[in-house]
Every structure is written in structure tokens, then in C-alpha cells.
A and B are shown apart, each in its own frame.
Chain A
């Protein structure tokens, strides 16, 4: 017993020879190896939008990488051209997107080297990426992204998404799916097809509304258009914003 009467907590139940000792306050339990799973997204991108029109597909995303609530990287591109018939946009963790981009680019190069005239179709890329993301998810080490793949291949348009929860089907715009639905439905519903200009106008309107209402967005975006002619990535651009209603509001009652 210590003569001064002071007992220091961290030596109580001290280490026994040959045993792992768990220091009080330590976040690791004894015997547990380094954490290898459950990623936390760090620098993230917000929504990605996509629309099909007659003759092609448009995908758009803003150019912001958020570090929590901090708008840290304001000039990063979240859209990529996979090949002449496919484009891809990603939201979620940017480091995981950069990793994905590197893998996909290498895959496309390897395919070109085969020189047999074939290239990956958008459906093939989507299917492959979905499998990759599912496998990573099953190993409890997901790629923390929602990826939108658009393309125009063999006169067929393709627009699908894939994410870490791996649900197929409905096209969603991450958190802001619900707010974008009415806007998009108004233009797209009751029409079999929309023109390229209508699609572009719709996308830009949605981007503007997202800038008004998404606290993690930024007024700087890029748009990727894929048609029979190939892929065109336009940007960076900004939306004209209208704040006139500010004059109509004063006080809080």
C-alpha cells in the first residue's frame, strides 16, 4: 500500500505476466487487432444528378469536397469519363472515389490494349462495379460511395446507380431525392422523351435548388453529356441565384 495513501488507478489490476493489459480509457479491447473494417467517410461529395433525354444522358455534380461541415476542397471533379460511351459520377467519400477511378481507368486501358474493337458497355461497368461494391460491403469494408453511371451504347441509353447498400432500381439523388422528385417529375412525367435542351435546363434548375437547400453544396458544378457522338464534360460553371425574396421577409412572426 502506498504510504501517502494515493492510489493511482491505472496500476490497479495491473498486468499479469503473459497477459494483454488493457489500459483504462483505451479504446482497444485486449486481443483485438487493428481496426480493419467499418470505414468512416472523411472528405465527401454531395448529390449527383442524372437525366435521360432523346439521344443521350446527362449527369451533373458540384465540385465540392466537404470535410464534415467545412467546405474544404472547392475545385474537385466528381465526374469521370470511363470511355466514349460511359460516364460516371460519385458522391460520398472522395478518397474511395479516387481509388475507384484509378481501378476503372486501368481496366479501360487494359481493354484497349486487347485491340479487338470492343469496349465496356455502361451496363457492363455498372454490373462490375455493383459486384465490387457488394463484395467490399460483405467484407465489412465498403467503398463509401453512391455512384451514378450513365451511357449511350448501341443506340440504347443507360442510367443507373450503385451504392454501398447496393440497392438497384430507382434513381436517387442521395439525401435530396425527395426534394428533387417533384421538380424532375414535372418535366419528365407524361412525356415519353425530353430533348437535350430540356434535360440540360432541368439539371441546371435542380442544381440551383440544391444550392439553395443543401447545406453541403457549392455553387460550382460540372455537367457530363454522353451521346452517340461521345462524351463531353462541361464546366466548371455556376448558377445564377435569385435572393429577391429576402426583401419580403423581416422578423420572424
Chain B
């Protein structure tokens, strides 16, 4: 995600030396998003930072967008593109659900996202994770990355900050976790990504979707888990190390 964004927008900064970069850069949800399946539902999470270049346009964004009662999507990429696609899919899915006279399948929502993202792949910059619960297959997570392919995964991360947490996810995700373990995994992973990725930050928004409903939470910036290397000086002091960085 970071590489693709740099490729597209990297050339813009050389053009205008007088104008600040937030007048030329596109508004993007340079982001970290994540979704995990558990038996009975899914847990999804996202950071809350929207940037135009290096300026934070919105520090409390909600990137977890409801598409239907038990289906959400996590948006990363261009803010305008993902909002537009989400609006289109919400309409299409709502209409389909009325025709069926029952709750729609998560797979249907995911395929609707894929159809739009693949058809307009050259014009769009959107990486979306679709997650939810339906009575046929329970909790499901589908990823539609940039380019418009579709794949189902038990756990998925996306956005520019995701590159920093692949290791954390590979080592801490285990199949058949409980809902609480999933919540801890997601909030831990997101806070690590937000720590390192300049385009991610703010608060951690979480949602747990199951048959009984959607349970949303927010973990505020000052309540995020503190890792031992958060802040170089306290770490050094606690280990009795030199304060001057030698590496």
C-alpha cells in the first residue's frame, strides 16, 4: 500500500514549492485496517487518521462503514473512492436484500465490491476488507485489494500501516480464537502499526459482528497499549542503556 501510494503521488511534491502539499495531494485514508474471523462472528478494526499529504485532515475518522445490518467494510486508499464505492454497494445490497426478503450474504457484498473495484481498477485507488456474519457461513472476512481480486481469508490486514504488522500477525494469530482474544489481537496489531506508520494514528475503532448484532468500541489515543519501545528514553532508562542512539 505504501509503495503503491508513493508511486502514484510521489511525483506531485516537486511541482509546487510555494503551495503547501495539502493543496495538491489527494485526500487518502493511508491506514491500517484489520479483520479476524472467530467462531460465531468477526472482529474488525481500523485507525482513525485521514491525511492530505502530511496534514491530518481528520484525526477521528470512522473507517468502519456499515453496508448492511451484519456486514461492514473497512476502507483504505483514497477517501473519496472508497466512500463512493461503499455508497454504491450499500444501495445495491439493500435493493438485493429487499428482493430476496432476507438478510444478504457476506459473499454477495464482497462480490459487489469486487465488481466495482475490478471494473474501474485503473481509475480507483481502493483496498477494502469486507467482513460480517450471515446465517449460511457464520463469520467471514473477504479481502478486495487494489486491482480488484477477491479472496476469503480467516484474518486480513490492509492499508499502508499493514506492512509493519505482518510479522506480529503471523506470530500471534492462531485459528479458533475467542472473541476476546480476537479483540486483543486487533487492538494490539493496530496500535503497533499506528506507532510506526505516519499515515495511521488517532484512535482504534473496533467492532464485533455476530448473530446478535454489532458491538462497537473506541480505544482512545491515550488508552492504547504501551509497548516497551514506545518512547525511546523510558526504555533506555529501564534497561540501564545509554541514551544516545548508537544504531
Given contacts A24-B24, A26-B24, A39-B121, contact A10 B146 (CB under 8 A): no
Q: Which one of A66-74, A130-138, A209-217, A230-238 contacts B?
A: A66-74
Q: Mark A128-150, 1 if CB is under 8 A from B, else 0.
A: 00000000000000000000000
Question: Is B148 engaged at the interface, CB distance under 8 Å to the other chain?
Answer: yes
Chain B residues numbered 141-176 whose CB sits less than 8 Å from any CB in chain A: 143, 145-151, 153, 163, 166
B23 and A93 contact, CB distance less than 8 A = no
On chain B, the number of residues with a Cβ less than 8 Å from chain A's Cβ atoms is 28
Given contacts A27-B11, A34-B123, A39-B122, contact A10 B19 (CB under 8 A): yes
A34 and B145 contact, CB distance less than 8 A = no
Identify the closest chain B residue to A35 (Cβ): B122
Q: Return chain B residues, CB-CB under 8 Å to A23.
A: 24
Q: Return chain A residues, CB-CB under 8 Å to B150.
A: 98
Question: Is B100 engaged at the interface, CB distance under 8 Å to the other chain?
Answer: no
Quick one: which of B13, B18, B24, B148 contacts A95, CB cutoff 8 A?
B148
Given contacts A9-B18, A25-B16, A70-B163, contact A98 B122 (CB under 8 A): no
Given contacts A24-B16, A70-B163, contact A42 B122 (CB under 8 A): no
Q: Return chain A residues, CB-CB under 8 Å to B121.
A: 39, 42, 95
Q: Which of A38, A42, A75 has the most chain B CB atoms inside 10 A of its CB?
A: A42
Complex CA–CA separation, A54 to B171 (angstroms): 45
Complex CA–CA separation, A65 to B147 (angstroms): 12
Q: Return chain A residues, CB-CB under 8 Å to B153.
A: 73, 75
Complex CA–CA separation, A100 to B243 (angstroms): 58
Question: Is B3 engaged at the interface, CB distance under 8 Å to the other chain?
Answer: yes
B163 and A9 contact, CB distance less than 8 A = no
Q: Return chain A residues, CB-CB under 8 Å to B99.
A: none
A35 and B123 contact, CB distance less than 8 A = yes
Complex CA–CA separation, A99 to B114 (angstroms): 10
Q: Return chain B residues, CB-CB under 8 Å to A37.
A: 122
Please list the 7 inter-chain residue pairs (A to B) with the smallest Cβ-Cβ separation, ordered nearest first. A42-B147, A25-B15, A95-B149, A25-B24, A9-B18, A25-B12, A95-B148
A interface residues with partner B (beta carbon < 8 Å): 7-10, 23-27, 34-39, 41-43, 65, 67-68, 70, 72-73, 75-76, 93-95, 98-99
- 15 further contact pairs, Cβ within 8 A, besides A10-B18, A23-B24, A43-B147: A9-B17, A9-B18, A24-B15, A25-B13, A25-B16, A25-B24, A34-B122, A39-B122, A42-B145, A43-B149, A67-B145, A72-B145, A76-B151, A94-B149, A99-B118
